[in-house]
Amino acid sequence: MTSRTPTGTGTTRPPATRTPTPADVAALLNARGGITIERHLTEAQRASTLAADAREGLTADPKELPPTWFYDTTGSMLFGKITELPEYYQTRTERAILSAHAAELSAALTAALPGGGAGTLVELGSGTSEKTRMLLAALAGTGRLRRFVPFDVDADALSRAGAAAKAAHPGLAVHAVVGDFRQHLGLLPTPGAAPRAAARPDGTVPGAHPSGPKAAGESAPSETDAPAGTLVAFLGGTIGNLRPPERHLLLTGLRERIGRGGALLLGTDLVKDPGRLVAAYDDSAGVTAAFNRNLLTMLNRELGADFDLRGFAHVALWEPENRWIEMRLRSVRAQTVRLTALDLTVAFADGEEMRTEISAKFDHATVERELTTAGWHLTHWWTDPDGDFALSLAIAE
């Protein structure tokens, strides 16, 4: 392992792509099985953002690629396998916390949110929304939940997660959004606005309340219903994949979008023994190594690159000053890589490392400080008995 110290600076926020106009969004509004899917990240925008990120990251020193690009079909499948690994405690621990405190969470939202609970659940980086099913069930039990808005860069994962949510809660309006949470938060549905009904089979979207059959525990909205509040869930510790300035931007942007009285449920992985942390990112079955190298396969496919996967080793290390795990790909020999779509040739020195992910770990004080400086008030902090992972509930002040 080389001893090069990461700079911790030089964030790789993608350059702004053209913001889709409402007409673009309307034109791209699809309907699949009663779920609306709104694309703020078209294939063309995705391709141009990837090209810009790859050019910027591969010509930087040190080289770096943003972790958002891990999640193509194979990457999302490998992430699913990671969540089942014995070393990767995060997913099952967060699920256990959610299960233990779902009723308390739901009661806290009923007490704190306008209209007596969460009418809309927005989920950022939703992936499979597997843990979210528990949340949906708890919120549906309040009779206030009308709309689920899963938000992810992976359109396929959204289709599947949206369909599962709709199957479990037929009366719920499922409004999936394909977007990048670093760029498109301002395009989330406005809180308090009447949820749109699920699309009809012909693809049109009625402007009225949901009209589908009601699942147990869900009630039809009436004229006297006050608009219920919005809960944003950001689970899995994904906020730790952003650097502090990016986290601040995201938390502030969400706070502005959600408005006073909205709520945030935030999952964060906690600082612990570095040996356990490194093992979680360098598992014995090699799944995380495959997840890391899949980034190169994606570049080969999407940018006509010729990365030799055998020429790059998976590296996971703990950075104590930053309190984050870094994943890198280390070139095992001096080599050049050609990316035809970028007309770019990149030289790697023997042992040179390219950073592919940071995964920050937190404690109570850090989470509270970051929330407070972004305008959120931390009201609940739930952890597992071993203090490995935390779920925080915060209210927009």
Query: Hey, which residues between 195 and 254 contact ligand SAH (CB under 6 A)?
Result: 235-236, 238
d(CA 41, CA 183): 10
The yes or no reply on residue 65 touching ligand SAH (CB under 6 A) is no
Strand order in the sheet with 35-39: 30-32, 35-39, 173-178, 147-152, 118-124, 229-234, 263-269, 389-396, 376-383
CB closer to ligand AVI, 53 vs 269 = 269
Look-up: residue for tokens 């405690």? 89
Residues 237, 241: Cα–Cα separation, whole Å: 8
> Quick check: 152 binds ligand SAH (CB under 6 A)?
yes
Where does this chain touch ligand SAH (CB under 6 A) — which range of 147-155, 205-213, 246-254, 274-282? 147-155
Q: Which residues bind ligand AVI (CB under 6 A)?
A: 82, 90, 236-238, 240-241, 281, 288, 291, 357, 359
d(CA 104, CA 98): 10
At its nearest, how many Å lie between ligand AVI and the CB of residue 82?
Answer: 5
H-helix or E-strand spanning residue 48 = helix 43-58
Which of ligand AVI, ligand SAH, none interacts with 71 (beta carbon under 5 to 8 A by kind)? ligand SAH
| 57, 58, 79, 374: which one binds ligand SAH (CB under 6 A) | 79
Q: At what angle do helices 132-140 and 90-112 cross, to 10 degrees?
A: 20
Answer yes or no whether residue 68 interacts with ligand SAH by CB under 6 A.
Answer: yes
Among 65, 135, 157, 367, binds ligand SAH (CB under 6 A): 157
Shortest CB 126 distance to ligand AVI, Å: 11
Q: Is 197 or 390 the residue whose CB approaches ligand SAH more closely?
A: 390
Among 126, 230, 268, 392, binds ligand SAH (CB under 6 A): 126
The nearer residue to ligand SAH, 79 or 281, going by C-beta atoms, is 79
Which residue, 269 or 352, is less far from ligand SAH as judged by CB? Answer: 269
- For residue 61, CA distances in Å to 53, 327, 337, 342 come to 14, 16, 16, 18
82 touches, from ligand AVI, ligand SAH, none (C-beta below 5 to 8 Å by class): ligand AVI
Q: How far is the CB of 180 from ligand SAH (least distance, A)?
A: 4
- Strands 335-339 and 324-331, bridge-based pairing: unpaired
| Total number of residues that touch ligand SAH (CB under 6 A) | 19
Q: Convert residues 165-194 into a mask of x (bound to ligand SAH by CB under 6 A) and - (unbound).
A: ---------------xxx------------
The pairing of strands 229-234 and 118-124 is parallel
Closest distance between ligand AVI and the C-beta of residue 316, in Å? 8
Angle subtended at Cα 358 by Cα 352 and Cα 361, rounded to the nearest 5 degrees: 140
Plot region of 129 (φ>0 → left; ψ -120 to 50 → alpha; else → beta): left
From ligand SAH, ligand AVI, none, interface partner of 235 (C-beta below 5 to 8 A by class): ligand SAH
β strands within the chain, DSSP E: 30-32, 35-39, 118-124, 147-152, 173-178, 229-234, 263-269, 312-319, 324-331, 335-339, 344-348, 353-360, 376-383, 389-396
C-alpha R_g of the chain: 21
What is the binding site for ligand SAH (CB under 6 A)? Answer: 68, 71, 79, 83, 91, 125-127, 131, 152-154, 157, 180-182, 235-236, 238
